[in-house]
Amino acid sequence: MIVYDLICGAGHRFEAWFASLEDFERQAGTPLLACPVCGNDDVKRLPSGIHTARSGRTEPAAPAPAPTSDTGPAIPDPRQVLAALRKLIDGTENVGDRFPEEARRIHYGEVPERSIRGHASPDEAEALRDEGIEVLSLPLPPVDDVH
């Protein structure tokens, strides 16, 4: 399929899809191909590109080129890091200082499994890991946890 920019005898511009150029030529000048605005079937194909130059219609923006780094791993944008952390803690229950206790209760099935966050000292976190409990240490406290 190809899309053509068309213009009717009254100056209306529109687009139409055709299977091929032959398909367009077969329909052009017949009621099969009429202006959707006024019904005029004196339809011509605009030379390609003219619509972008004159109509002011905005073409779909090309995707911005992804930031590339040829010099090794990109340095993360702090805002992105913070956003990622927020996403991570989103939906987790803040259990504060009861974190090690809650983590154990969840791990041992004493309470329904859920995602929690809270505070644990490095020693406590280490102890949890030793028990096979997955603990993710965040490099900085989420803002809403600061009291």
Q: Does residue 111 interact with Zn ion by CB under 5 A?
A: no
Interacting span for Zn ion (CB under 5 A) from 31-39, 60-68, 73-81, 113-121: 31-39
Nearer Cβ to Zn ion, position 40 or 94?
Answer: 40
Cα(89)–Cα(69) distance, integer angstroms: 29
Cα(24)–Cα(12) distance, integer angstroms: 17
Phi-psi sector, 127: left (phi>0), alpha (psi -120 to 50), beta:
alpha
Nearer Cβ to Zn ion, position 45 or 98?
Answer: 45
Please, what is the minimum distance in Å from the beta carbon of residue 12 to Zn ion?
A: 3
Q: Does residue 12 interact with Zn ion by CB under 5 A?
A: yes
Place of tokens 């003219």: 50
Of all residues in this chain, which one has the CB nearest to Zn ion in the complex? 35
Residues 34-93 that bind Zn ion (CB under 5 A): 35, 37-38, 40
Q: Does residue 8 interact with Zn ion by CB under 5 A?
A: yes
End-to-end CA distance of the chain: 61
Cα(127)–Cα(38) distance, integer angstroms: 77
Binding site for Zn ion (CB under 5 A): 8, 10, 12, 35, 37-38, 40
